[in-house]
A and B are shown apart, each in its own frame.
Chain A
Amino acid sequence: NAGVTQTPKFQVLKTGQSMTLQCAQDMNHNSMYWYRQDPGMGLRLIYYSASEGTTDKGEVPNGYNVSRLNKREFSLRLESAAPSQTSVYFCASSHRYNEQFFGPGTRLTVL
């Protein structure tokens, strides 16, 4: 099992460009999440999907959109990237109430 996979691993964008971060899990988990990690801020939840077909905002959803494509895949889209979105993005998945399994992260720089 690959667990949680994320693509790409690194990305550099110019301000105003758009991109989609991809995430997939092969553990048959119902719930999936997108976090961003910034120095001194810990992990902050952007969006989550409790089950296929549902999505909800987390702490910092502004500037992002998500799509739960199917049970395996949960994508994060930046429509118009801003320098404030420079961060490391982590995708995670879990069964309800249980531990979250994290992907390796995507390091995004917006110039």
Chain B
Amino acid sequence: AQSVTQPDIHITVSEGASLELRCNYSYGATPYLFWYVQSPGQGLQLLLKYFSGDTLVQGIKGFEAEFKRSQSSFNLRKPSVHWSDAAEYFCAVVLNQAGTALIFGKGTTLSVSS
């Protein structure tokens, strides 16, 4: 069965430091992968997505993610974190062959210290 694992429940990073959030997936075919961000009390916003092609994908707000098939990973990175990046981050993978539903990881909460 398809699944998504985010090993880190909570991460604290100093403002200006680099960030990497981990995501591992289990999926039998070529995965479609997503990263979403949720600010407190808000809905989810798409940061970036991977369908095929270049394994390094750029997203909004200065985020990028790298797809590594050999490691079944899709880690999210940002070179310099801003205080406004404090939020919860979710990795997701397509649930079914029709590509119409996602399964989400349990999320990583990012805190930014000054």
Interface of A with B (CB < 8 Å)?
4, 31, 33, 35, 40-45, 48, 50, 56, 58-59, 90, 92, 94, 96-100, 102-105
Interface 1/0s, chain B 99-114, versus A by CB < 8 A?
1111111110000000
In the complex, the chain A residue whose C-beta lies closest to that of B51 is A97
Please tell me if the beta carbons of A45 and B100 are within 8 angstroms of each other in the complex.
Answer: no
Q: How large is the interface on B (under 10, 10 to 19, 20 to 34, 35 or more residues)?
A: 20 to 34
Contact A102 B106 (CB under 8 A): no
Which of the segments B40-48, B68-76, B77-85 contacts the partner chain? B40-48
Chain B contacts of A44 at CB under 8 A?
104
Query: How many residue pairs at the A-B interface have CB separations less than 8 Å?
Result: 58
Provide the main secondary structure of the chain B interface: loop
Closest 4 CB pairs of A and B: A102-B43, A42-B106, A97-B99, A99-B46
CB of A45 within 8 A of CB of B98, answer no
Q: Does B94 interact with chain A (Cβ within 8 Å)?
A: yes
Where the two chains meet, the residues of B that have a C-beta atom closer than 8 Å to any C-beta of A are: 9, 32, 34, 42-46, 49, 51, 90, 94-95, 98-107
| Nearest residue, chain A, Cβ from B88 | A42
- Complex interface: chain B residues within 8 A of A94 (CB): 100
- With A42-B107, A43-B90 in contact, do A33 and B101 touch (Cβ < 8 Å)? yes
* A–B pairs, 22, beta carbons within 8 Å: A4-B43, A35-B104, A40-B106, A41-B106, A42-B104, A42-B105, A42-B106, A43-B44, A45-B95, A45-B102, A45-B103, A48-B100, A50-B100, A58-B95, A90-B44, A97-B32, A97-B51, A100-B44, A103-B43, A104-B42, A104-B43, A105-B43
